[in-house]
Amino acid sequence: MDVTITVNGKTRGADVPPETTLLTLLRSNLGLTGAKLGCDVGDCGACTVLVDGEPVNACLMLAAQADGREVLTIEGLSDFQKLSPLQEMFELFSSFQCGFCAPGMIISAKALLDKNPTPTVADVREALSGNLCRCTGYTKIIDAVMEVAARGGATAERA
Amino acid sequence: MVIKVDDALRTDRLAELKEADATAVPAVAREGGRAPQIVPDANKQTPAVGQRVTRPDSRPHITGQTRYIDDLSFPNMLHMKILRSRYAHARIASIDVSEAEKMPGVVATLTGKEIPVNSFGPSYQDQPVLADEKVRHMGDGIVAVAAETEQQAQDALARIKVEYEPLPLVLDPLEAMKEDSPKIHGDSNIYATKVIRKGDVEKALAGADLVMEGRFSTQMVEHVPMEPHATIALWEPDGRVKILSSLGRITLGRADVARTLDLPVNRIQIVGTIVGGNFGGKNEITTEPVLALLARKAGRPVKGVFTRKDEFVSSTTRHPFIMDYKTGVMRDGRIVARKVRIVADGGAYCSWSETTLGKGAILSVGPYRIDHLEVRAYAVYTNKTTCGAMRGFGAPQVCFGYESHMDDIARELGIDPLEIRLRNVFDEGSSSPTGQVLHSVAVKESLDTVADRVGWREQAE
Amino acid sequence: MKRRGRGIACMWYPIGFTVAANPSAALVKVNEDGTATVLTGTVETGQGALTVLGQIAAEELGVAADDVHVVSGDTDATPMDTGAIASRTTYVTGNAIQMAAAEAKKVLFEVAAPMLGVRPDQLEARDRKIQVIGFPQKYLPIGDVANHAQVVMGRPPLGSASYNPPTVAMDPETGQGKPFSTYVYAAQVAEVEVDDETGEVEVLRVVAAHDCGTPINPTLVEGQVEGGISMGIGLALQEEILFDEEGRQINPNLTNYIMPTSLDMPEIEVDIVKNYDPTGPFGAKGVGEPTSVPTAAAIANAIFDAVGVRIHSLPATSEKVLMALREKQGKQKQIPAE
């Protein structure tokens, strides 16, 4: 079946079997491998993307359900030269170690800051609770998000 | 002509480093949301040691551009799935892949008999690459299938016929140590023993003011790297095999592949790409030889990625430890003798058990000055997931043992837990349990630092 | 009712393999402009090894971290390395890289000495310069020297080295020997809150002091400690692989294998203990594994401080804590009043 989505501002489509997940569509058909396959059942959050502004586990959403909708992946937050404020802070704080959870984590953090530009530490913990990280203990991740908030929110990002 | 050099003006970088301040992260700054530890131009500063340099590999990670192995694809690439054992302990009577090979998209299958040297392991090579005679835990792989898509490979697994002769199984390590227990390898389930002895522990225990005992045990846990094990194998036109793997140690991995495939080392290239977390679980080969052989059979690259279930069931875990401590102390809190017995549950295969047992045994006495000690440690097979290297090689387990025990002793003697430790820990030049003279010791400094931070002494009675 | 408690634990941990040889080899090339490339067979598994190894080479060559590029992880193109295991990378691979950089630096000094009118042993590399010790006004930019070396003198500044920690085999009967070249030490304090009606334990704060010798990169050391503590909390309170009587794992998934999320993490404070190990590169040792070692014990001791029960087996789930509490209350009721 044909599925068409607007991903990172561009209209893209593919012909996929009906049981294809949004994650598979992004990774295998559209070459956007930023969202990761960590568990395939929505437990780890490594596949988090924004669908119409809401954070979603792409492994739990069928590609067909995303048809006609707007999807934002990590690749849409920046290009190699210019980082979004969240990514800039992740780099400065070394808020990642192996990097596997980072795309999903950053997307979830962006979703929080878009809705709540002045979160408390508890708000940040809550918003990131669906993104598992085994390397960092979450500490420097929370530092980075709080620093972005303190500097005035994630306003300089590309759509 | 004699050139004069004034030594007094010689800059001594090493002396500078010796005097450098430790850098602490104050809690206060974190609550306020502003952290002073960013140094935006650290990467350009000299000297380089001690700088809060940001990682040169950060851009790819935070922009989603990093290519982990599952993000990579080669033309004509196939996907592999592995059929794992239905029983925790059984003989394999027969394997029939004929129906599976007829399934749509299936290009090649592989069984253990086709592997030139079907055994591996960092110390004892007691583990088959693919089980062909016996299975010893449910994570044992038996048949590998390479197909055009992952789904087709998965569907083909259901058509493989394996006949098992189930054997009695043993899951408890203390049971497994008994003479009449089902045997998993050879004649005994105890496959490694470590002994450390110093002084005369029985005499010293007899002379102690107080003898305390305690049993402590820990559970089986898993590394849970966010990236599951992943490997791609392909044969180059010049007859060499290239294997991209999430292995943390590629030199040894190459040696393992050379051995199992009976190939010269220089015909193998192992590329360790970016790894999404290891923690010890990616320190031995898993499917690398299988993928290499499938790729050769199929004449195409083959990729194999563990599912999250594979990660739990088939990759290694941390050894559960059962630890018995017996310590002789004097009224003033000085430890005069310590006896430790450790039973390490090793699961179905040896993997890194010998190393874990050895390190665990050495560390089990704790960072304490004890002249009379005895440690006896045993690694035992059980029909459970193989236990291997996991962050600490036995250290987290024994620390739980000796530090819980220490607090019990402190309470019994009415001595503050911090004080009793300070009275007993290593100093610079102390003798370790194995008789080594220790240098660069910092236990007291570590204890004092945390005590000051939490105001331990102020709050103590 | 919620009760607070705190517990302390200290530990020691070795660097490198137990007795057995675990060498690392390294190659350092200084490019024509004074930047450098390092070849190492180790693999970056997220801990920031390549960053730290680059800093070590940079320190030896007197340049900045940005001036060094580290190539790793290819058995064809990089020299052997025993691997990112046993917390050995900073110490063993780091020593090999420092020695290799020193070899490359020798070439630079031999080429620069006649240009500066001094002997090679009068030179040092600092701040991207090859300068005279005691008279730093006399110097050449490292790029000039490197270019001159390769292009004029025909001596590309190249260095290679390997390192293996010195050990002594352990006696098979008594275990006496020198199994490791060096060890690291640490202490942690955990503050917990225990609900004595449900047995639930919440970790409020963990304070950690870790010795790693010279911290090559303090941010990355902190990252290791914070990550290690999260694994320690999981070990102490949550994680467990469960089997049924047929040997089948009951919870081989992340829904039922409970591990720490951002909600489970306490405030963490990290202090790097001031120390220097002369056997390590610029005094450094290592820190990868030690970080999760004392946490479970500190938490177990804190639970005792809070509610007076000793947990003998991990994980200290709320069921276990509650059962221990009930047992203790039962015992207390049985003690006859004096």
**Tens-digit pLDDT profile for residues B163-185:** 999 999 999 999 999 999 999 99
| Interface-testing mutation among B39, B61, B273, with chain A (most A C-beta atoms within 10 A) | B61
Residues C55-75, mean pLDDT to the nearest whole number: 97
Judged by CB atoms closer than 8 Å, whether chains meet at C8 and B274 is answered as no
Residue B185 structure tokens: 């390898």
Identify the band that residue B18 occupies on the pLDDT scale cut at 50, 70 and 90.
Answer: low
Closest alpha carbon to B7 in C134, C212, A59: C134
Place of tokens 């190894």: C53
Overall size of chain A counted in residues: 159
- pLDDT tens per residue, range B298-325: 999 999 999 999 999 999 999 999 999 9
Exposed / middle / buried, residue B413 (Cβ in 10 Å: 0-12, 13-18, 19+) = middle
Q: Please tell me which residue of chain A has the smallest CA distance to B71.
A: A33
Neighbours of B60 (CB within 10 A): 15
Angle between helices B250-261 and B288-298 (to 10 degrees): 50
Query: CB-based contact (8 Å) between A109 and chain B?
Result: no
Report A:3-42 residues touching B (Cβ under 8 A).
27, 32-41
For residue A134, give the nearest of B31, B37, B224 by CB distance.
B224
For B197-234, letters b (16+ CB in 10 Å) and e give bbeebeebbeebeeebebebbbbbbbbbbbbbbbbbbb
Identify all chain B residues contacting A44, using CB atoms and an 8 Å cutoff.
226, 308
pLDDT band at C331 (very low <50, low <70, confident <90, very high): confident
Q: Do A90 and B62 touch (CB under 8 A)?
A: yes
Within an 8 Å CB–CB cutoff, is residue C93 touching chain B? no
Q: Between the CA atoms of C91, C93, C95 and C96, what dihedral angle is there, to the nearest 10 degrees?
A: 170
Question: What residues of chain A lie within 8 A of the CB of B279, using their CB?
Answer: 134
Task: Output the six-digit token pair for A30.
Answer: 């559209």
- Quickly state the pLDDT bin for C251 (edges 50, 70, 90): very high
Q: Is residue B55 over pLDDT 70? A: yes
Contact between B18 and C283 under an 8 Å Cβ cutoff? The reply is yes
Helix A139-150 to helix C218-233 angle, to the nearest 10 degrees? 120
Contact A41 C255 (CB under 8 A): yes
Rounded Cα gap, residues A56 and A22, in angstroms: 10
- C328 has a chain B CB within 8 A of its CB: no
Tokens 């349990």, residue?
B433
The reply to whether residue A40 touches residue B274, judged by beta carbons under 8 angstroms, is: no
Give CA–CA dist B342/B357, Å, rounded: 8
Mean pLDDT of chain C: 96
Split at pLDDT 50, 70, 90, the class of C334 is low
Residues C159 and C161: their CA atoms lie apart, in Å, by 7
Q: What was the pLDDT predicted at B15? A: 65
pLDDT digits over B106-150, tens only?
999 999 999 999 999 999 999 999 999 999 999 999 999 999 999
Residue A50 pairs in a beta bridge with A55, A72
Return the pLDDT at B38.
Answer: 74
Let me know if B4 is exposed, middle or buried by CB neighbors in 10 A (0-12, 13-18, 19+).
exposed
In this predicted structure, the answer to whether residue B1 has a pLDDT above a threshold of 80 is no
**pLDDT, position B240:** 98
How confident is the model over C146-169, as pLDDT tens digits? 999 999 999 999 999 999 999 999
What share of chain B in percent tops pLDDT 90?
90
CA distance readout (Å), A119 to A109, A112, B301: 10, 8, 48
Q: Is the four-CA dihedral B345, B349, B352, B355 of positive or negative sign?
A: positive
Q: Answer whether residue C261 shows pLDDT above 60.
A: yes
Closest Cα partner for B39 from C74, A55, C59, C219? C219
Residues in B touching C63 (Cβ below 8 Å): 46, 48
Who among C223, C263, C268 is closest to A94 (CB)? Answer: C223
Q: What gap in Å lies between CA C290 and CA B46, rounded to an integer? A: 29
The overall longest dimension of chain A from CA atoms, in Å, is 46
Question: With an 8 Å Cβ cutoff, is C263 touching chain A?
Answer: yes
Nearest chain C Cα distance for residue B27, angstroms: 6
At residue B10, the pLDDT reads 37
Name the residues of C annotated as catalytic.
289
d(CA C10, CA C197) in angstroms, rounded, equals 30
pLDDT over 70 (residue C303)? yes
Contact A91, B62 (CB under 8 A): yes
pLDDT recorded at residue A153: 60
Structure tokens of B311? 């990660």
DSSP line for C10-76: EEEEEES-SSS---EEEEEEE-TTS-EEEEE-----SS-HHHHHHHHHHHHHT--GGGEEEEE-BTT
- pLDDT average, residue stretch C85-107: 96
Sequence letter at residue C1: M
Across the strands, what pairs with C168?
C178
Q: What is the pLDDT of residue A80?
A: 65
Helix locations, C83-198, DSSP H = 94-116, 142-147
Q: Which of C18, C297, C315 sits opposite B403 (nearest CB)?
A: C297
Whole-number Å distance between alpha carbons of B311 and C253: 9
Residues in chain C: 338
Min Cα–Cα distance to chain B from A33, Å: 6
E strand or H helix at A70: strand A70-72
CA dihedral sign, ordered B144, B148, B150, B152 = negative
CA distance C220 to chain A (A): 7
Span B318-371, pLDDT tens digits? 999 999 999 999 999 999 999 999 999 999 999 999 999 999 999 999 999 999
> What distance in Å separates the CA atoms of residue A7 and residue A36, rounded to the nearest whole number?
16
> Which residues of chain A lie closer than 8 angstroms to B225, CB-CB?
98, 100, 134
What is the number of H-type helices and E-type strands within chain A? 5, 5
Q: Which residues on chain B are in Cβ contact (under 8 Å) with A23?
A: none
Mean pLDDT score, C118-130: 97
Does residue C215 sit at the B interface (CB-CB below 8 Å)? yes
pLDDT tens digits for range C189-207: 999 999 999 999 999 999 9
Tell me, rounded to whole angstroms, the distance of Cα C219 from its chain centroid.
12
pLDDT in tens, B60-77: 999 999 999 999 999 999
Chain B residue whose CA is closest to A124: B33
Asked if the model's pLDDT at residue B34 lies above 80, the reply is no
The H or E element that residue B325 is part of is: strand B321-329
Tokens (6 digits) for C299: 């938490």
Contact criterion met (CB < 8 Å) for A135 and B59: no
Does B200 have pLDDT greater than 80? yes
How far C334 CA sits from the closest chain A CA (Å)? 44
* CA distance to partner chain B, nearest, from residue C3 (Å): 16
Confidence bin at B459 (pLDDT 50/70/90): confident
Q: What is the pLDDT of residues B219-235, one digit of tens each?
A: 999 999 999 999 999 99
Nearest Cα to B379, choosing from B401, B352, B339?
B352
Hey, are the CB atoms on B3 and C8 less than 8 Å from each other? no
| A chain contacts of residue B305, beta-carbon cutoff 8 Å | 37
pLDDT tens digit sequence for B260-286:
999 999 999 999 988 999 999 999 999
Q: pTM (2 decimals)?
A: 0.94
Chain A neighbors of C229, CB-CB under 8 A: 137
In this complex, the chains that touch B, judged by 3 or more CB pairs closer than 8 A, are: A, C
- Look at residues B240, B295, B247 and name the one whose alpha carbon lies nearest to residue B273: B247
ipTM: 0.96
Confidence tier at C337 by pLDDT (50, 70, 90): low
Confidence of residue A152 (pLDDT cuts 50, 70, 90): confident
Taken in order C295, C296, C300, C306, is the CA torsion positive or negative? positive
* CB interface of C with A, residues 161-220, below 8 Å: 219-220
User: Can you state the angle between helices A85-93 and A102-115, rounded to 10 degrees?
Assistant: 130
Residue B32 confidence (pLDDT) above 50:
no
Q: How far is CA C60 from the centre of its chain?
A: 20
Q: From CA B274, how far away is CA B230, in angstroms rounded?
A: 11
pLDDT grade for C332, boundaries at 50, 70 and 90: confident
If we measure between CA atoms, which residue out of C132, C63, C281 comes closest to residue B11?
C132
CA distance, residue C46 to nearest chain A CA (Å): 3
Please tell me the distance in Å from B195's CA to the nearest CA on chain A.
34
- The per-residue pLDDT for B265 is 97
> Would you state the structure tokens that stand for residue B160, as one six-digit string?
């493989």
How much is the pLDDT for B40? 77
Rounded to whole angstroms, the Cα distance separating C227 from C127 reads 34
Rounded Cα–Cα distance for residues C112 and C123 (Å): 9
* A-chain residues near C262 (CB < 8 A): 124-126, 128-129, 131, 133, 138, 141-142
- Of B354, B234, B369, B249, the C-alpha closest to B296 is B234
For C218-242, how does the pLDDT look when each residue is reduced to its tens digit (9 = 90+)?
A: 999 999 999 999 999 999 999 999 9
Inter-residue contact B137 to B149 (CB < 8 Å): no
Q: Which SS3 state, helix, strand or coil, does residue B230 take?
A: strand
Non-local (6+) Cβ contacts of C154 within 8 A are none
Pairwise CB contact (< 8 Å): A90 & B34 = no
Q: What is the mean pLDDT of residues C172-178?
A: 96
Strand, coil or helix: B181: coil
The whole-angstrom separation of Cα C60 and Cα A21 is 51
Chain B environment of A35 (Cβ under 8 Å): 64
Strand pairing report for A10-15 and A2-7:
antiparallel
| Cβ <8 Å between A93 and C229 | no
Distant-in-sequence, close-in-space partners of B66: CB < 8 Å, separation ≥ 6:
A99, B57, B60, B274
